[in-house]
Structure formats: structure tokens, C-alpha cells
């Protein structure tokens, strides 16, 4: 399969020069089978660049692609805040240069008439226009376009070829917004690998209007390729982070236990540790855990271990913990402090950890379930603050902890180092991002503290698996991440 990546940057790649950064980016692309890339914007990213900064960033891209003409294309970075300078850059880089498109970021919204001269000239030159778009629950930047802003622009320029970057973030809404506007294509990169986006995009827009892009190197090639890849097998492995039952806000592919088991088997996963979506909002935690056990037992061709949930804010939570350990014979529990509205410095949390350690249970702490920018506006849940966990782990020598969904910038590197130094805390890689992100993490914190977690079915299963292919790992490192670390921590 030929893979072209529409959305790549130089900014998050190591290297002092554009040549060095480009070579590093292409090595990562090669490891996951990306044949050609589109590059736009240099570094550092400038929200409102001056004409001089605009030219410097475009020069960086021109230098980066200069030795990769057979595999790399450039889009010129423009800003409607400096129309004349941007038109000069368009002439220099597209009309008289090798670039083939335009990148518009967050200086002004696409609905602003100041954008018109740039789009009109790009259309004359037959250059595609990529517009960054988001619909953030947390609020957009002042000049940050929504998909609706792009639709307004497309109506003013019906001959233009426009791309809706990031699918608007909240992709269910972004897809609907651009659906009737036939001169807008959808870019499906640069947000979490949430399962269902490609399926909805193809169903509503047609495959011909859906374009793959990764947003590497800020995002990983791997997590984004999972949206379109659909293949891959790791061999024997343990997935420490799957969820059963129904995600409260939409149906996702493979959200029945039988279909999820089939999906995990297809990718060579022979053991998975499962929590329940019901645990987020239900109050009958005993019922949630009982159903979880029954669901896990219903699967014959996959070892599915139930990780029940205990909510220390509920009356008699100690009985829920007892049942997990004594009646259900669980090996661990999965906690959702943010959904249950307690912090890690709450004395009840410390007591729960102590009781779990005494019973020999592994404790999984989930930092977040989704990007805060795309949460439902009626249920905005902040990420868990893990800062108190360092002292708690150090004070309980029998305690074993696994942090899930915690590697998207929500935990300070110093805290990760403090926790992993104990030898009793591991992190899963479900939300680890950045090109070659696994390699970078292991280089800093070591191979013994990172585990495979796919966060299926909410995320595409392939996302985490492809991260191992994108990062250049030795066999010892692969075995550690794919299962040996989890086995050791589980005991």
C-alpha cells in the first residue's frame, strides 16, 4: 500500500539544521512505510509571525525538502495579518519555487475576509490550501478556525481546493460541518487515534474526500496511521489497557466483548487487562465489577483479566475492594479519580492504596480518558494530578502501580523519574505521542517501566502497536514493552 502523509512538521524533530531534521523524520517515516510526506512550517512555531519570521520558516522547509524531491513536497506558510508579504512568499515558494500548497494556521479565522487574497491567489496557482481547524471544548484561540469558518471560506471561493486540518478535532462535528461543501477535503491527522473517525469520514464524505496526515513529529506517525492501517501483528503480547461495555458518548467499533477479543487476537495479543466504561459514571460499583467478571469469563480464545473499580467516595467502598480480591480473584483494580471527584492527596485514596497493597493487588490509575479539548461540554473532566503519588509509593514498599493514559504531557518528567526509580511503577504507552516516542521515552527512563496499552476499543488497536515499529527498538526492548514488564509488575 502506498502511503502519503499530508501533514508533517520539522519542529519536534531533533537536529540543528533542516537537513538533519528532515533526514531524521524520513528515517521514522521509513520504519512505518510512509513513502511521501508534505512539510510545512519551520521552527519554532509562530502564532502570529512577522514577514521576516514567515520567510525564515519557509526557507527552513525549502532547505529540508531540497534533497528529497522524490519523496517530499512543501506547503508555504502564510498569514493574513501580512497580506503583501504572504503574497510575495506565495510567488517565491509556489509560482517560482517547488512548493505545491499553502498552510494557514491561527493568525485569523478562515471566515475573515483578510484571508481572501491569499486563497484567491493560491487558487489561481492551482495550490491546495490547508487550514488548521479545531472545535475545542476548552475554547479556541482568537484566530483559530473552526470547520464552520472553513465552510464560510469555501463558499466565497468555490473553485479553491481546501483541506480541513485535524478534522476540527471534535471530528463528529467537523465531518458534519464540511459534508455539504464539496470543495473541502478532510485531513484526519493531528488528534488522538479515536476509533471510528475513518469509518464515519468515509461513510459521510466518501473515501475520495478523506486524506491521511499524521502531524508528525509532534504526533507519532504510528498513532495516526492506525486510523487507516487496519493490519499488523506483534506476536505474543499483553495489553494492559482495554475497556469493556459502552463508552457513554458514542458507539465505537468493537465495543462488544466478542468483537474486541477478535480484534485483539487479530493483532497477536494473547492477554488483556480490562476495565469497564460503566465504572466512570455508575454508582453501583459492585454490579459494574460483577458484569465485568462475567464478560471476561465469556471469552474463550483470549485471556481477559478483569480489573474492577473501587470508588473511595462511595459508602462501604471497602466491601467492593474485598469482593474484587476475595470473590472475583482479581489481580488488580483500575481507578478513575477524576471521574469520581477525588484527588490523590485525599486520605481515602491513601487508605485504598494501602488496603490494595495488603491484598496483593496491582493498582492502575487512569490519568484521563480523552483529550480535554474534545470532551462533551456537559462533562468536562480534568486530567488527574499525579504529584502526590510519589510520596505515597515511596511510603508503601508493597504497593505496585501502573499509570494508564498518562504520557500526553500531563505528568512532569521529574515525577516519572521519581516513580519509576522505585521499580514498582510502570506507564502504558496508549497516549505516548511524538515521532519515535517509544525510543525517546526508553532512552530517558529505561525499558523496564513502559508497557503496551492500546486503550481499545476507544483507540484503534493498531495505534500502540505501530509505535513499536516506528521506534527503532532492539529485541530485548520489544519483549520488555510487549509483555515482560507487565508480567513482572503483576507478580
Angle at 189 between CA 183 and CA 193, to 5 degrees: 130
Residue range 129-154: average pLDDT? 97
pLDDT at position 301, please?
85
Query: How many Å apart are CA 315 and CA 337, to the nearest integer?
Result: 16
Contact 366, 397 (CB under 8 A): no
Kindly give, in sequence order, each residue whose CB lies less than 8 Å from that of residue 491, ignoring residues fewer than 6 positions away. Answer: 331, 360, 362, 400
pLDDT 10s digits, 372-385: 999 999 999 999 99
Query: How many Å apart are CA 24 and CA 471, to the nearest integer?
Result: 12
Helix or strand holding residue 18 (H, E): helix 18-31
Domain boundaries, the chain: 4-225, 238-490
pTM, full prediction: 0.92
At 134, the pLDDT band (50, 70, 90 cuts) reads very high
pLDDT at position 490, please?
97
Query: How many Å apart are CA 293 and CA 168, to the nearest integer?
Result: 38
Q: Residues in the chain, how many?
A: 491
**Which grid cell is 176?**
458534519
Q: Which of 165, 144, 184 is nearest to 7 (CA)?
A: 165
Q: Rg for the chain (alpha carbons), in Å?
A: 24
Helix or strand holding residue 52 (H, E): helix 51-65
Query: How many Å apart are CA 122 and CA 128, to the nearest integer?
Result: 7
pLDDT 10s digits, 200-222: 999 999 999 999 999 999 999 99
pLDDT at position 54, please?
97
* pLDDT at residue 229 tops 90: no
- Residue that has been written with the C-alpha cell 521514522 in this structure: 28
pLDDT at position 228, please?
84
How many CB atoms are located within 10 Å of the residue 130 CB?
25
* pLDDT at residue 485 tops 90: yes
pLDDT at position 452, please?
98
pLDDT at position 286, please?
98
DSSP readout, 253-296?
TT-SHHHHHHHHHHTT--EEEEEEGGGGT-S-HHHHHHHHHHHH
pLDDT at position 2, please?
83
C-alpha dihedral over 62, 65, 71, 72, to 10 degrees?
-40
pLDDT at position 149, please?
98
Residue range 406-427: average pLDDT? 97
* pLDDT at residue 236 tops 80: no
Task: Please state, rounded to an integer, the average pLDDT across all residues of the chain.
Answer: 96
Do the domains 4-225 and 238-490 sit in the same CATH topology, yes or no? yes
Q: Which of 371, 427, 11, 30 is nearest to 197 (CA)?
A: 371
pLDDT at position 239, please?
98
| Cα dihedral across residues 269, 270, 273, 274: positive or negative | positive
C-alpha dihedral over 332, 337, 338, 343, to 10 degrees?
-150
Residue range 54-59: average pLDDT? 98
Indicate the range of 28-32, 93-97, 287-291 predicted with least confidence: 28-32
Residue range 158-177: average pLDDT? 97
Query: How many Å apart are CA 272 and CA 308, to the nearest integer?
Result: 14
| Cα dihedral across residues 212, 3, 183, 93: positive or negative | positive
In this structure, which topology does domain 238-490 adopt according to CATH? TIM Barrel (3.20.20)
CATH for the 4-225 domain, from 3.30.230.80, 3.20.20.80, 3.20.20.140, 3.40.50.12780: 3.20.20.140
Helices (H) then strands (E): counts for the chain: 18, 16
Query: How many Å apart are CA 461 and CA 454, to the nearest integer?
Result: 5
* pLDDT at residue 232 tops 80: no
% of the chain at pLDDT higher than 90: 96
pLDDT at position 235, please?
52
First to last CA, the chain: 42
Amino acid at each position: 500500500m502506498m502511503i502519503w502523509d499530508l501533514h508533517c512538521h520539522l519542529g519536534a524533530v531533533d537536529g540543528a539544521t533542516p537537513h538533519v531534521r528532515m533526514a531524521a523524520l524520513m528515517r521514522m517515516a521509513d520504519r512505518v512505510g510512509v513513502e511521501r510526506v508534505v512539510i510545512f512550517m519551520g521552527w519554532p512555531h509562530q502564532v502570529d509571525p512577522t514577514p521576516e519570521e514567515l520567510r525564515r520558516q519557509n526557507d527552513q522547509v525549502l532547505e529540508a525538502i531540497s534533497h528529497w524531491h522524490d519523496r517530499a513536497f512543501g506547503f508555504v506558510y502564510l498569514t493574513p495579518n501580512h497580506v503583501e508579504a504572504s503574497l510575495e512568499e506565495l510567488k517565491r515558494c509556489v509560482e517560482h519555487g517547488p512548493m505545491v500548497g499553502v498552510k494557514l494556521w491561527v493568525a485569523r479565522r478562515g471566515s475573515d475576509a483578510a484571508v481572501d487574497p491569499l486563497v484567491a491567489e493560491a487558487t489561481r496557482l492551482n495550490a491546495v490550501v490547508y487550514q488548521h481547524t479545531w472545535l475545542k471544548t476548552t475554547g479556541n484561540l482568537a484566530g483559530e478556525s473552526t470547520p464552520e469558518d472553513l465552510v464560510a471560506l469555501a463558499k466565497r471561493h468555490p473553485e479553491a481546493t481546501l483541506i480541513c486540518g485535524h478534522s476540527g478535532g471534535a471530528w463528529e462535528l467537523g465531518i458534519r460541518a464540511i459534508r455539504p461543501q464539496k470543495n473541502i477535503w478532510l485531513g484526519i491527522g493531528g488528534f488522538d487515534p479515536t476509533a471510528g473517525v475513518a469509518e464515519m469520514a468515509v461513510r459521510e464524505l466518501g473515501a475520495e474526500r478523506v486524506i491521511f496526515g499524521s502531524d508528525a513529529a509532534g504526533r507519532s506517525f504510528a498513532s495516526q496511521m492506525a486510523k487507516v492501517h487496519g493490519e499488523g501483528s506483534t506476536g505474543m503480547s499483553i495489553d494492559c489497557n482495554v475497556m469493556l461495555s459502552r463508552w457513554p458518548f458514542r458507539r465505537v467499533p468493537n465495543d462488544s466483548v466478542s468483537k474486541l477479543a477478535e480484534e485483539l487476537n487479530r493483532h497477536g495479543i494473547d492477554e488483556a487487562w480490562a476495565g469497564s466504561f460503566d465504572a466512570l459514571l455508575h454508582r453501583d460499583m459492585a454490579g459494574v465489577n460483577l458484569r465485568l467478571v462475567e464478560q471476561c469469563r465469556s471469552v474463550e480464545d483470549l485471556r481477559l483479566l478483569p480489573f474492577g473499580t473501587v470508588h473511595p467516595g462511595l459508602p462501604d467502598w471497602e466491601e467492593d475492594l474485598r469482593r474484587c480480591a476475595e470473590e472475583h480473584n482479581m489481580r488488580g483494580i483500575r481507578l478513575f479519580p477524576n471521574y469520581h471527584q477525588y484527588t490523590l492527596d485525599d486520605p481515602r485514596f491513601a487508605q485504598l492504596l494501602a488496603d490494595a497493597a495488603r491484598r496483593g493487588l496491582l493498582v492502575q490509575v487512569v490519568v484521563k480518558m480523552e483529550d480535554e479539548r474534545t470532551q462533551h461540554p456537559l462533562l468536562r473532566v480534568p486530567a488527574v494530578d499525579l504529584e502526590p503519588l510519589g510520596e505515597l509509593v515511596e511510603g508503601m514498599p508493597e504497593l505496585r502501580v501502573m499509570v494508564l493514559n498518562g504520557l500526553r504531557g500531563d505528568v512532569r518528567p521529574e515525577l516519572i523519574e521519581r516513580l519509576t526509580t522505585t521499580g514498582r511503577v510502570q506507564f502504558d504507552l496508549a497516549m505516548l505521542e511524538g515521532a519515535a516516542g517509544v525510543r525517546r521515552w526508553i532512552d530517558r527512563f529505561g525499558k523496564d517501566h513502559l508497557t503496551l496499552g492500546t486503550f481499545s476499543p476507544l483507540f484503534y488497536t493498531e495505534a500502540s502497536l505501530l509505535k513499536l515499529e516506528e521506534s527503532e527498538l532492539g529485541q530485548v526492548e520489544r519483549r520488555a514493552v510487549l509483555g515482560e514488564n507487565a508480567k513482572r509488575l503483576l507478580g
